[in-house]
Amino acid sequence: VAQTPQPPVGLSVLVEGTIARLDWSAPSYPPLRVIRNFRVRWGPREPEEVHPLVYTPGGLMPRMSNSRALTSIVGFGVRRFLLFNLQSDTVYIASVQTLSAFGDSPPAVVHFTTAAASAPQGTSNSRQSPTLKSNSEQVENVDGGAFDLVGYRDY
């Protein structure tokens, strides 16, 4: 009897300024050959009368603003997704679901806060691009939303 898949494992986020990188691993069930895609969803939190510091693992969690949430479907071999042009000093929620022939998994969820906007520095027109680094690659900031690193596989 086929079961719905498990959520991705080890969902984590690395934030630098207004860029966030999501990383995850495939679940142990279903087998990789059955996984079709992953659904990545992200957005700012729903406005609440709660200070972000009260959000704790296993406790109170922020709610994603459905009207401002974005979704992307990525291939089964993708294990990393970059979010660009996020609002500064904002709590975001991101989730990743496993999609298979047997249905969709519950989402794996993380929340994070982007850095506060920095004050303008002098009259310089130079713009520095933040860079997120991993062990073997470098991903530079480019405008235009989010994209996935196609072909990045976790063996």
Indicate the pLDDT class of residue 1, thresholds 50, 70 and 90. low
C-alpha to C-alpha distance for 34 and 100, rounded to whole angstroms: 6
**Which is it for the CA torsion 113, 85, 96, 23, positive or negative?**
negative
Cβ atoms 127, 140 nearer than 8 A? no
Indicate the pLDDT class of residue 63, thresholds 50, 70 and 90. confident
Cβ atoms 110, 22 nearer than 8 A? yes
| CA angle in degrees (0–180, nearest 5) for 101-106-109 | 130
What are the structural domains of the chain? 9-117+131-148 (2.60.40.10)
pTM > 0.85: no
And the tokens for 32? Answer: 């990789």
